[in-house]
Structure 1
Amino acid sequence: MFKDYNMNQLILPLDLEVRLQKNDIAFHVHHLVESIPHEAFEPFLRNEGCPAYHPRMMLKIILCAYTQSVFSGRKIEALLKDSIRMMWLAQGYEPSYRTINRFRVQPEVKELIRQCFVQFRCQLVQEKIIDQEAIFIDGTKIEANANKFTFVWKKSIEKYHQGLIEKSNHLYKELLKNEIMPQIVQESEEELTLEELTQIVEKVDEVISEYDQKIEASTNGAERKALRSERKFPKQARKQLMDHIQRKQRYQKDFEIFGTRNSYSKTDPDATFMRMKDDYMKNGQLKAGYNVQVATEGQYALAYSLFSNPTDTRTLIPFLDQIEQHYFELPKHIVADAGYGSEQNYDDILSNRKREALITYGMYVKEQKKKYKQNPFNTANWQYDKEKDVYTCPNQQQLVFKNYSVRTDKEGFTREFKIYECENCSGCPLRSSCTKAKEGNHRKVMVNEKWEQQKEYVRAKLSEEETSSIYRKRKIDVEPVFGFLKANLHFNRFSVRGKSKVENEMGLALMAVNLRKFTANR
């Protein structure tokens, strides 16, 4: 005996919501998007043309598709035809893949995604899933949708640009030497600008036109031949100058794209070439990608931002600024790994934001080892007399204070150093182990007092039970978010190009991770 099976009979109920399980992820997607204020959808209103799909519905179906590891517009369109949860969220509508792709890259969608993160965090706080005690910050690199071999390097462009400057100056001097044109540029100028090159081309054109008129007016064959011979150099110079102008324009455009970066991809100029962890050939291959910074708590992504620079050190301050401006007020503790440990970052968190920085620095782990502490040639182990302000080296020679030194990095941050110098290093039996300075030069030590105070602060905080327990949560809080994103959600590469579009896709992917975890915990 079989259960009743009849394809010709209408089966009730028709409401698809009844077919979904009680804790289906579609309900959480629905409640999250519905919690977004109505004002956030007003920029999508249009008074002309065919009525558009409601942005709430579009955001719901895209978020739900991302939770199922479906990122392609065509595959999302297919899901709308055979997935019950997608049919219920769309309420029978079937937008095409073009409509889906156009919607998710709109600039206005960025505000909707931000509202998703804000509302999701409010829900976590309301249900007491997170305690708002600390945020855990880390970064990961995700490959851009760009060709691996269409790269442009800043050093190469600088080299070619310098060569172009030398060629242009040499050609200009040749034109002056042959008295083809008058001097229009001051001799003190090292580089010809685009406007000056254009003026030179105009002057050369006038000279060529004069030769053309003389050749047309002349009836003597020998004279015409001589004029054509004289005209040859100006015509060649004009051709070279036009090439120089085109190259200079191209190089200037390259420098504008570079900004503070060292490389970019031709297929996605916002992407920078970085070293990825998935280097299967182990040959240090570079790929175009983005540096994704995420702030988490309770293994949920609460805020994110994308950067084009591969290192994490310079991303912390702008990322914290974005969190405060767009997401939430910073908690008491800011936790990150040693990649973020720098004097500028400590100074910003402790002095400007009045927060506690539970961030290690590069030498923190090494300083804890017995070998480092017992090494007599480490200046950190040298005896220091605070009253006399002198250091004593392993050979019992004193290093006295000489002068102050101020260094400014390319970002404009200044650091102050105190320089100590040994009174006499000549004939020291420990010289080869103590210093690599040339014979005749005395041993010097540079001390950054502010940096040393910051390191002492970090060591003291991480030795306390309460703050050390918070720092130990870092690995089990932020790292699982990246693991879930890449291993479970299979989000390893962006499908769009351009930083604004990539930011939208990254936000959708991270919110999909949050929704899947939230549903699983329920």
Structure 2
Amino acid sequence: MKNQTTTYSKSKQGILPMFISDFLDICDPVLTFDEFMEGIDLAKYLRNIPEHETGRIRYNPVNMLKTVLFGFMTQGYMSLRELEDNCRVNIRFMYLIDNERPSYRTFSYFINDVLGDSIEDIFNDINKKIFEQENVDLNHLYIDGSKFEANANKYSWVWKKATEKSRYRLFEKITALFHEINTDLEWSGLKIEANVEYAPEQLREIADQYAKVWNVDRSDFVYGKGHRKTCQQRQYEKLLEYASKLEEYIEKVNICGPARNSYSKTDHSATFMRIKTDYMGNDQLLPAYNVQVGVADEYIAVVDVNQYRSDMDCFVPLMEQFKKTYGFYPKYPTADAGYGSYNNYIYCEQHDMEKYMKFTMFKKETEDKKYHNDPFRAVNFRFNSEGYMICPNEKRFIFSHRRAVRGNEYGRQEEIYVCEDCSNCPYTAQCKKTENNRTIRINQELTAMHQEVIENLESIHGALLRMNRSIQAEGTFGIMKNDRNYKRIVRRGINSVRLEIFLVSIGQNLYKYHNKKMRLQKSA
């Protein structure tokens, strides 16, 4: 007979050691992260948290902050439910949160209400500590921007110009209604004055007066099939309907503001922009935010979220953000052709910054010799002893007038010159396309700026800056979008989006810091 043995032990027993840190490798990223964060006084940003008189003890806010930042460091973007789940099963998060288990609602309250006002200061403090240890050169700043799709419905657009057109069409309907009402009120001697534009308050006041004249009682109004409205009911309801519609149009225009032409109904801060990834395949604009970064030695030194569709308008706000953070302007801001404009070049001159931003025709100017040396380009015309521009046919160009450039902040003007006589010119086919004398527009100051930019960027220093910009600035967005899979905004509203972008940027810098530290240890 076989001996029957009974086993009373369980395979899932408690084991030693009892400290979570003993399970972690000495090079584990959570230990690098925790050691780094201990050198920053995070508690000064978490002192205004209200204390509950009843209920359970609040989670340690410093540990909560470390857990949130470590989540963004490891994954690029971590959702609230992923944070909750990792605190239950991931030993690294359990180490940071002291084996507590906050829910996703707790993380939501902490991020939105506690970190909302102080996240920018936390980002700056973390950066300053990294930059001190890494000796980061902030004078060389590599700038780039990328459009991130907003968390808004695709076909929820509101166009400012379309709203304005609808409002003026409504003004015409109101005028026609006033003429109809005046015809019916001829017996009373009363008359409503018609104008070009109207205000909602004016229409509501007219509706009240109209109700008094005709003794309109809203309880007698009829609706539905089989009922016929009286003329007074119809006119009174139209007045109120037009007033409500005017209020709607005014609200839409105010939401757009002076600097935008569109917004989304589901996220009023999002602007419709053209994004490179057109997954819809119909060339439609998508609601998005324009995220700008300034990178120094592979770290995000400054970040900004804008509602402008063009990168050109984002340069000055980004530089002002840099000055506010570090107390000075970068000496060599390097950017691509989306940032080169008269306004930005003047801004650089005013703040002692070198011009290393390409302009629109930079590539054609430097690589296309035929275009650059074209004798029929206005910038290649020679000047005679009298100061006149001379075309290849030896004809003078006479100054006509100056014209202000629309949207220019520094009063830029274009000079208009007209050829004295283009008749019987042998170069007509190459020089102009109309039968009139050729007209050219030129701005000597902007032309001189373009020449300075070409000299800067074609130098050895400029070539190195251009190479580094393509690696560091564009590489930052490449890592953020492709390696760390952050391709779309999650939150709604400009303030919430800024909070999200700062969290992602902090995670990106900490991720880069840990990788550099690990590489140094391996090489040593």
Q: TM-score, normalised by structure 2?
A: 0.88
Cα deviation code 1:10-59 (max 9, x no counterpart):
42222212222223222343345441454322233446555532332222
| Mapped pair 1:40 → 2:40 | no
* In 1: Cα distance, 2:41 partner to 2:171 partner: 56
Query: How far did 1:242 drift?
Result: 1.1
| Mapped pair 1:419 → 2:426 | no
Change over 3 Å in CA distance of 1:210–1:461 after alignment to 2: closer
Give 1:104's aligned residue: 111
Change over 3 Å in CA distance of 1:62–1:211 after alignment to 2: closer
Give 2:163's aligned residue: 157
Cα deviation code 1:492-520 (max 9, x no counterpart):
11222111111111111122122222211
Residue 99 of structure 2 is aligned with which of 82, 92, 103? 92
* In 2: Cα distance, 1:232 partner to 1:427 partner: 75
Matched residue SS, 2:142: strand
Residue 471 of structure 1 is aligned with which of 462, 466, 475? 466
Give 2:285's aligned residue: 286
Give 2:203's aligned residue: 197
| Mapped pair 1:272 → 2:256 | no
Residue 215 of structure 2 is aligned with which of 209, 218, 223? 209
The 5 A counterparts of 1:429-448 are 429-437=426-434, 439=435, 441-448=436-443
Residue 18 of structure 2 is aligned with which of 14, 26, 36? 14
* In 1: Cα distance, 2:417 partner to 2:507 partner: 56
Could you tell which deviates more after superposition, 459-468 or 247-256?
459-468
* In 1: Cα distance, 2:361 partner to 2:84 partner: 52
* Conserved 8 A contact 1:350-1:356: yes
Residue 126 of structure 1 is aligned with which of 118, 126, 132? 132
Change over 3 Å in CA distance of 1:356–1:210 after alignment to 2: closer
Change over 3 Å in CA distance of 1:344–1:124 after alignment to 2: same
Matched residue SS, 2:263: strand
* In 1: Cα distance, 2:20 partner to 2:217 partner: 85
* Conserved 8 A contact 1:33-1:56: no
The 5 A counterparts of 1:45-194 are 45-46=50-51, 48=53, 50=55, 51-69=57-75, 71-106=78-113, 108-179=114-185, 182-183=190-191, 185=193, 189-194=195-200
Query: How far did 1:346 drift?
Result: 0.8
* In 2: Cα distance, 1:205 partner to 1:29 partner: 72
Which amino acid is 2:112 matched to? V
Which amino acid is 1:358 matched to? Y
Give 1:25's aligned residue: 29
* In 1: Cα distance, 2:72 partner to 2:356 partner: 34
Could you tell which deviates more after superposition, 162-171 or 371-380?
371-380
Gaps of 5+ in 2: 1-8, 221-227, 518-524
* Conserved 8 A contact 2:178-2:192: no
Query: How far did 1:254 drift?
Result: 0.6
Which amino acid is 2:415 matched to? K
Percent of aligned positions that are identical: 30
* In 1: Cα distance, 2:321 partner to 2:192 partner: 49
* Conserved 8 A contact 2:185-2:191: no
* In 2: Cα distance, 1:31 partner to 1:276 partner: 40
* In 2: Cα distance, 1:413 partner to 1:381 partner: 26
Give 2:249's aligned residue: 251
* Conserved 8 A contact 1:118-1:328: no
Give 2:4's aligned residue: none
Give 2:349's aligned residue: 350
Aligned residues: 496
Query: How far did 1:176 drift?
Result: 2.3
* Conserved 8 A contact 2:211-2:236: yes
Residue 504 of structure 1 is aligned with which of 499, 503, 516? 499
Cα deviation code 1:78-115 (max 9, x no counterpart):
11011111001101211110111222223x51454323
Change over 3 Å in CA distance of 1:112–1:85 after alignment to 2: farther
* In 2: Cα distance, 1:366 partner to 1:445 partner: 20
Cα deviation code 1:197-247 (max 9, x no counterpart):
1121112111231799xx9xxxxxxxxxxxxx9x93332111111111111
* Conserved 8 A contact 2:199-2:243: no
Give 1:223's aligned residue: none
Could you tell which deviates more after superposition, 194-203 or 475-484?
194-203
Give 2:513's aligned residue: 518
Query: How far did 1:289 drift?
Result: 1.2
Change over 3 Å in CA distance of 1:28–1:508 after alignment to 2: farther
| Mapped pair 1:338 → 2:327 | no
Which amino acid is 1:244 matched to? Y
Which amino acid is 1:251 matched to? Y
* Conserved 8 A contact 1:104-1:505: no
Query: How far did 1:356 drift?
Result: 1.3
Which amino acid is 1:190 matched to? V
Change over 3 Å in CA distance of 1:429–1:169 after alignment to 2: farther
Matched residue SS, 2:456: helix
Give 1:225's aligned residue: none
Change over 3 Å in CA distance of 1:104–1:358 after alignment to 2: same
Give 2:3's aligned residue: none
The 5 A counterparts of 1:395-410 are 395-409=393-407
Matched residue SS, 1:469: helix
Gaps of 5+ in 1: 216-228
Matched residue SS, 1:270: coil
Query: How far did 1:378 drift?
Result: 1.6
Matched residue SS, 1:473: helix
* In 2: Cα distance, 1:476 partner to 1:357 partner: 20
* Conserved 8 A contact 1:273-1:286: yes
* In 1: Cα distance, 2:483 partner to 2:191 partner: 68
* In 2: Cα distance, 1:78 partner to 1:510 partner: 23
Which amino acid is 1:489 matched to? R
Query: How far did 1:427 drift?
Result: 3.0
* Conserved 8 A contact 1:140-1:291: yes
Matched residue SS, 2:310: coil
Matched residue SS, 1:23: coil
* In 1: Cα distance, 2:42 partner to 2:437 partner: 68
Give 1:221's aligned residue: none
* Conserved 8 A contact 1:25-1:515: no
Could you tell which deviates more after superposition, 340-349 or 471-480?
471-480
Matched residue SS, 2:402: strand
Give 1:224's aligned residue: none
Matched residue SS, 2:405: strand
| Mapped pair 1:317 → 2:316 | yes
Give 2:522's aligned residue: none
